[in-house]
Amino acid sequence: MEPFPDILWIEEIKKEDIPSVGGKGASLGEMFSIGLPVPRAFTVTAQAFRRFLVLTGIEEALFKKMEDLDVENAGDLEQASREAKEIVLGAKIPADMRSSIRDAYHQMGKNVIVAVRSSATAEDLPDASFAGQQDTYLNIKGDRDLLDAVQKCWASLYGGRAIYYRAKQGFDDRSVNIAVVVQQLVPSEKAGVMFTSHPITGEPLTIIEGSWGLGEAVVSGSVSPDKYVFDKRSGKVVDRLIARKLIQILPDGKRGTKEVEVAADRQEIPVLSDDEISRLAAYGKIAEEHYGVPQDLEWAIVAKEIFILQSRPITTIRDSPKAQAKSGSMGKILLEGQGASPGIGAGKVIIVRDAKDSGSVEKGDILVARMTNPDMVPAMKKVAAIVTDEGGMTCHAAIVSRELGTPAVVGTRKATVTLKNGQLVTVDGEKGVVYDGAVAAPIEKAVAEACVVAPAPVVTATLVKVNVSMPEAAKRAAATGADGVGLLRIEHLILELNKTPGWYIAQKKDEEFIQELYRGIRVVLDAFCNKPVWVRTLDAPTDEFRNMQGGETEPIEHNPMLGWRGIRRDLWSPEQFRMQVEAFRRLWKDGYHNLGVMFPMVSHPDEFIRAKKMMETWGVNVDEVTLGIMVEIPSSAILIEDFVKAGIRFASFGTNDLIQYTLAIDRNNENVATMYKPKHPAVLKLIDNAIQVCRKYGVECSICGQAGSDPEMAVWLVEHGIDSISANIDAVPKIREAVLRTEKRMVLKAASSRHA
Ligand code: PEP
Ligand code: MG
């Protein structure tokens, strides 16, 4: 019998060849066969790899390294991986195999630059996405480098992550093979990725992300790419988000690639024209129709010529759009609002008009309300998604949903009228849309949680902190690797008790209140060990207290947002303030030196001085503890120097309020939501002024409002010298990435201007 060839060209490959050429190789071959513009490529087959193991005699020694390995033991895993790779890299590729690889390479042309990609034979199967676990080498030129790269790809089959995943997925190391795809590298002017259908819902929307240079910048996430949404039904581009593309990856002219800054005049212009988008989408359609499932494609464009580099099935969609369409589960859009907390939830509607209704909310329901109240929080914890008539990105429903990781759409204006109790709907908290029926399986909450427990382990000079409101979210928040808590809202600790602080005072149950606060705050302090946790004193507007026991005595205010809240209320109700201070005092006494206390709604330095004096009379050594303020009223931003002189240790921008008070826009009023502009020049001027004063005096300057969860705003803040940014749990990874990139760019700029 003829031995299986070491090399297969893409024109020889068919879909069934996965065992020989791996998922990537098979997919390329097949795409070539259906007429997609795939760059020239050949595969070093899995049989060649097997022959290499046998002919070099390393097989047994290699597999022994993984026998009886406890993959949960990181040290053992690391050692086995290192030794296995050494065995593969230490063997010499047999001469005939070397010459087959060389011959194939020469057939591509003279000294062609290629990408060498691992193509594991179990990779890219719908149920076992191994993509990214094995190596890829870009910009390889010449026989020697090519052979080295092939051997390194083989060795990467024994990387720690790959061994771990195989063990967990039940794949036998002995039977998993690897092929290597050698493909002409397209020196792309622009490149990116494309989902042929929406990656979560499976809707017929082609999503294309692109940036300048090689596609590696988009795939690795080192650049924020442009995003284009092409509706396959109308054949039109329905959404585009043009990002600021600061860097690109280019061949370095030697062996690898280099990251260079994008010229200023190209950073903010669109990468793709409408014509290119529709041509790309057309190729995506061919691939999807051919494979029968939505695809995740990599593309590149050079001199207007499109190339498709890779294709693999999207693994996040439960049902393909076709299956959904068939089952009639593609819902029509019932409502649109603001996507306030990402994720998708499907279930039956339950309309909650007041706290009494929330008793009938069951796990997995969709809570629909005019606006949520603190007394609805227990019900909010159970539901699959939340929809409100009113509110914007900083309303109660939005803040609590983000913290719970529950999808939410706010400000729909008419959810309580349009939706009916018991109706089945799907809520997309990313896009701000409510669909009729159960469109997609509610898998995103798990995804969202998975995203936050695996942060990029990077250290940034600007601290990236996290906001917390509920002790039960503390672990999730800490798992982001955040540098501390920039805002712990304590209202939620007591709102759940459903009794106002006034009730505890009237009932002479102050000790109970103090204990509750102490316990709740301590959970967060423990989760963050020695990292700073800034706890904010009470800041609940009177309308939020009204439905609670004791709430009958709350004054009725026309403008609760401008009313009896924040530090002003504590100064007028010393007993309410004392109970909080007593909880803090005990925590400090118990050694929680990571606790800092922050006063909200401060408008004049006198308020800070008075609060400090009161704390002193209650036994706090105010010179030793960390006390700071929220800068959320324009007056405090304007008078920041006086606050510094009054002894604040830190200042944190509460932009949710700062924006509403600067622009006279009620943050909870959906009628003026479009005028609520975090980047309004007046807001930015106030922030910049306060940052510069804080820097001058060495006082930590931070942000904990919702604007700090916006990567673009984070870039601006870092450029203007902020010390720390506190973001929502779900936003920490992207803020960290934005901060890191901005800092790197600033360092590079400073270095190049020094050498200029
Ligand atoms: C703010 O105003 O930005 C803030 C963080 O506080 P809250 O949203 O609780 O008013
Ligand atoms: Mg505020």
- pLDDT (average), residues 96-105: 96
Residue with CA closest to ligand 1 atom 7: 656
* Amino acid occupying residue 14: K
Report the distance separating Cα 157 and Cα 429, nearest Å. Answer: 38
- pLDDT tens-digit profile of 689-743? 999 999 999 999 999 999 999 999 999 999 999 999 999 998 898 899 889 889 8
- pLDDT tens-digit profile of 636-694? 999 999 999 999 999 999 999 999 999 999 988 878 888 889 999 999 999 999 999 99
DSSP 3-state of 102: helix
- pLDDT (average), residues 441-446: 37
Q: How confident is the model at residue 748 (pLDDT cuts 50, 70, 90)?
A: confident
Distance 520 CA to ligand 2 centre (A): 21
* Residue 241: φ, ψ to 5°: -125, 110
Q: How confident is the model at residue 222 (pLDDT cuts 50, 70, 90)?
A: low
Mean pLDDT in the chain? Answer: 86
The answer to whether 343 touches 383, Cβ cutoff 8 Å, is no
Pocket-testing residue among 395, 401, 656, ligand 1, by greatest number of atoms within 8 A of Cβ: 656
Ligand number nearest to the C-alpha of 536: 1
Pocket of ligand 1 (CB under 6 A): 394, 487, 489, 539, 632, 654-657, 704-705
Q: Which atom of ligand 1 is nearest to the CA of 491?
A: 9
**How many CB atoms within 10 Å of residue 95?**
8
Distance 489 CA to ligand 1 centre (A): 9
Please give the positions annotated as active site: 396, 704
Higher pLDDT, 126 or 378: 378
- pLDDT (average), residues 481-501: 88
Distance 704 CA to ligand 2 centre (A): 9
Higher pLDDT, 576 or 355: 576
Q: What is the DSSP string of 24-85?
A: HHHHHHHHHHTT--PPPEEEE-HHHHHHHHHHTT-HHHHHHTTTT--TT-HHHHHHHHHHHH
Residue with CA closest to ligand 1 atom 8: 656
Element (H, E) at 316: none
What is the pLDDT, as a whole number, of residue 1?
58
Residue 127 confidence (pLDDT) above 50: no
Q: How confident is the model at residue 102 (pLDDT cuts 50, 70, 90)?
A: very high
Q: How confident is the model at residue 452 (pLDDT cuts 50, 70, 90)?
A: very low
Q: How confident is the model at residue 756 (pLDDT cuts 50, 70, 90)?
A: low
Tell me 499's DSSP state. B
Distance 521 CA to ligand 2 centre (A): 19
What is the pLDDT, as a whole number, of residue 383?
92
Q: Residue 260: left if φ>0, alpha if ψ -120 to 50, beta else—which one?
A: beta
Q: Which atom of ligand 1 is nearest to the CA of 658?
A: 2
What is the pLDDT, as a whole number, of residue 324?
40
Which one, of 158, 135, 134, 157, lies nearest residue 78 by Cα? 158
Residue 99 confidence (pLDDT) above 90: yes
Report the distance separating Cα 578 and Cα 77, nearest Å. Answer: 54
What is the pLDDT, as a whole number, of residue 520?
93
Residue 534 confidence (pLDDT) above 50: yes
Q: Which two tokens stand for residue 55?
A: 């002919």
Distance 654 CA to ligand 1 centre (A): 5
Residue with CA closest to ligand 1 atom 1: 654
Residue with CA closest to ligand 1 atom 4: 654
Ligand number nearest to the C-alpha of 489: 1
Ligand number nearest to the C-alpha of 668: 1
Q: Which atom of ligand 1 is nearest to the CA of 394?
A: 8
- pLDDT tens-digit profile of 367-401? 999 988 777 888 888 899 999 988 777 778 888 88
What is the pLDDT, as a whole number, of residue 320?
36
Q: Residue 524: left if φ>0, alpha if ψ -120 to 50, beta else—which one?
A: alpha
Higher pLDDT, 46 or 170: 46
The top-scoring range by mean pLDDT among 399-408, 550-559, 621-630 is 621-630
What is the pLDDT, as a whole number, of residue 104?
96
Residue 442 confidence (pLDDT) above 50: no
Q: How confident is the model at residue 122 (pLDDT cuts 50, 70, 90)?
A: low
- pLDDT (average), residues 4-25: 87
pLDDT over 70 percentage in the chain: 90
* Residue 159: φ, ψ to 5°: -65, 155
Pocket-testing residue among 492, 539, 602, 661, ligand 1, by greatest number of atoms within 8 A of Cβ: 539
Report the distance separating Cα 89 and Cα 81, nearest Å. Answer: 12
Residue 121 confidence (pLDDT) above 80: no
pLDDT over 90 percentage in the chain: 49
The answer to whether 384 touches 346, Cβ cutoff 8 Å, is yes
